[in-house]
Amino acid sequence: GTDGTGNNLMLFTAAGKLLWALPCEGRYIQDLFVTDTGDVAASANMPAVAAVYSPEGKKRWSAEAFFVQNTWDLRTIQSEVDHAAISPDGSRVYLNRREGALACRKLDTGEELWQWKPPAAAAEVRPYIQRVLPVQDGRMLLVSVGRRTPAHEYGSAHREAMYSSVCAVNPADGNIIWEAKWPAYGYCREMGGSGEGYWGMMGYHLAATPDGSRVVAVCRFGDIHVLDGTDGKVLRFVPYYRMPESKRIPCRASITPDGGQVLLRSESPTWPGITNMAEYDIPTDVWTMLLNCGTGEIRDLGGDEAAVDATVLPAGGGFILARWDGMVAQVLPDGQAAW
């Protein structure tokens, strides 16, 4: 549950019987994971925290996570960062820490196994972690990193140091397997010409095939990169200007297990400090589109309601979409609706 100070975290049996209910430390629960032994891991904000509870509902441990806290952060960080993620086998918690580091902890005890902090090319540039995505087969951990600097430095000599990147991290020791980089300019742009130091970043959203062979990185302003999961090289690039004019807003991605199709779905476009979207010619419509990774073709799936969630089906089954208006549909790989 969300938006309450009462019992917003509950554990049920498969038959629907309530085992326990308690107030999580954070008011808005972002993600949940239940292990085979019944431990419950939760990440939440207000305050930003990662916490682990026993099958009986007793808290094993908790730790503060990174969260957008003040006005300067709001102007220079994309909102809704990932506070934490759980390894596919349920044994580890990857914690996005306040100081811009990623910490790996044992889920059952909270013991820290390793910590990794993204490098900064200049003292004035402060890296931060946006997304944390464990690949399903456990071979690597995908992390997207943004870099920011105080407003008066935007466009200065530190421009080259303000790149964004997607890193493949070894879950065993925190070492980098590969890193893909994008400059602060070119794929990113300052909003409104106000000089506040606000820009987009690659890796605003990430998706990967179960074996990690293909990785999708989406920019806040609509650029899409399909990467080779073995070395981070770009296999397919769709710039935001290739999208129809009304489609250039933030989106989330899902990719089929074979890496052949990417489902793109819009989300509500919000930028801190900008209340009149029309003033900056920011589109506010919603859409769902399908990208063919082989040909680069983009198919508009139509409809005037955005998909609030999407699940990838195995064996070429396409996707299950859940829309804001309550409709649920299966979309096949060719873009046609099965039902």
Question: What tens digit of pLDDT does each residue of 62-77 get?
Answer: 988 875 554 334 444 4
Residue 197 has a pLDDT of 37
Lookup result for tokens 């917003």: 8
Residue 198 has a pLDDT of 37
Residue at 137: amino acid letter = D
Mean of per-residue pLDDT scores for the chain: 77
**Highest mean pLDDT, choosing among 72-76, 155-159, 325-329:** 325-329
- CA-angle at 42, arms to 36 and 43, nearest 5°: 145
Nearest partner of 25 among 60, 68, 55, judged by Cα: 60
| Sheet strand arrangement including 319-323 | 307-312, 319-323, 328-331
Q: What are phi and psi of 131, to 5 degrees?
A: -125, 145
Beta strands 251-255 and 92-96 are unpaired
For 91-120, what is the mean pLDDT? 89
60 near 50, Cβ under 8 Å?
no
Report in angstroms the alpha-carbon separations of 188 from 55, 198, 215, 230, 245.
Answer: 45, 9, 20, 26, 17
Residue 53 binned pLDDT confidence (cut-offs 50, 70, 90): very high
Residue 272 has a pLDDT of 44
Residue 126 has a pLDDT of 74
Residue 211 has a pLDDT of 94
Residue 199 has a pLDDT of 46
Residue at 17: amino acid letter = K
Record the tokens describing residue 271, joined without a space. Answer: 């930028």
Query: Of how many residues is the chain composed?
Result: 339
For 219-234, what is the mean pLDDT? 87
For 23-49, what is the mean pLDDT? 83
Residue 195 binned pLDDT confidence (cut-offs 50, 70, 90): very low
- Comparing 35-39, 56-60, 137-141, which segment has the lowest mean pLDDT? 35-39
DSSP state of 337: B
Q: Does residue 264 surpass a pLDDT of 90?
A: no
Residue 168 binned pLDDT confidence (cut-offs 50, 70, 90): very high
Q: Does residue 181 surpass a pLDDT of 90?
A: no
d(CA 200, CA 104): 27
Q: Does residue 15 surpass a pLDDT of 70?
A: yes
